[in-house]
Amino acid sequence: MRQVQPDPEAMLPLTPAMFNILLALADGERHGYSIMQEIAAQTRGKLRIGPTTLYRSIKHMLEDGLIVEADERPDPALDDERRRYYRLTDLGQRVAVAEAQRLEQTLAVARSKPLLRSLAPVAPEKGA
């Protein structure tokens, strides 16, 4: 029997918070605070999400099967409190890739417009 995979396209586009959470989890399991820190780092501080937005997004992503709860354990880098860890599912990984490709296509369109020439990749200078 042919295996039919769920269509990640059906879940696009993602909100910036959800996409960045998926990216933060791409390196492995993380707890909530670690996700917040990673998002701030990977966006160079341009996107900072608070705990409410984080857990609203996590709630919806758990419902949609993009992430799962891994377990609950203390983070030795912080304190002795137990923290809930999350990780990507296979579907979550595929949705992250699909969203990245969608954004890439959008960026390619933007680069082709005369108004947004400054976005075009800089060609290497001769003799440089």
Residues that bind other proteins (CB under 8 A): 1, 3-7, 9-15, 18, 31-33, 36, 48-56, 58-60, 63-65, 68, 76-79, 81, 83-84, 90-91
If the CB atoms of residues 51 and 116 are measured against other proteins, the closer one turns out to be 51
| Cβ proximity of 48 and 40 under 8 Å | yes
In the complex, what is the shortest distance from the CB of residue 21 to other proteins, in angstroms, rounded to a whole number?
Answer: 12
If the CB atoms of residues 3 and 118 are measured against other proteins, the closer one turns out to be 3
In the complex, what is the shortest distance from the CB of residue 106 to other proteins, in angstroms, rounded to a whole number?
Answer: 13
Do the strands 82-88 and 67-74 form a parallel or antiparallel pair, or are they unpaired? Answer: antiparallel
Identify the sign of the CA torsion 97, 100, 102, 105: negative
In the complex, what is the shortest distance from the CB of residue 12 to other proteins, in angstroms, rounded to a whole number?
Answer: 6
Instruction: Please report, as a single letter, which amino acid is at residue 98.
Output: A
In the complex, what is the shortest distance from the CB of residue 118 to other proteins, in angstroms, rounded to a whole number?
Answer: 29
Nearest to 21 by CA among 47, 2, 46: 47
Q: b/e for 101-120, b at 16 or more Cβ within 10 A?
A: ebeeeeeeeeeeeeeeeeee
If the CB atoms of residues 84 and 113 are measured against other proteins, the closer one turns out to be 84
If the CB atoms of residues 79 and 125 are measured against other proteins, the closer one turns out to be 79
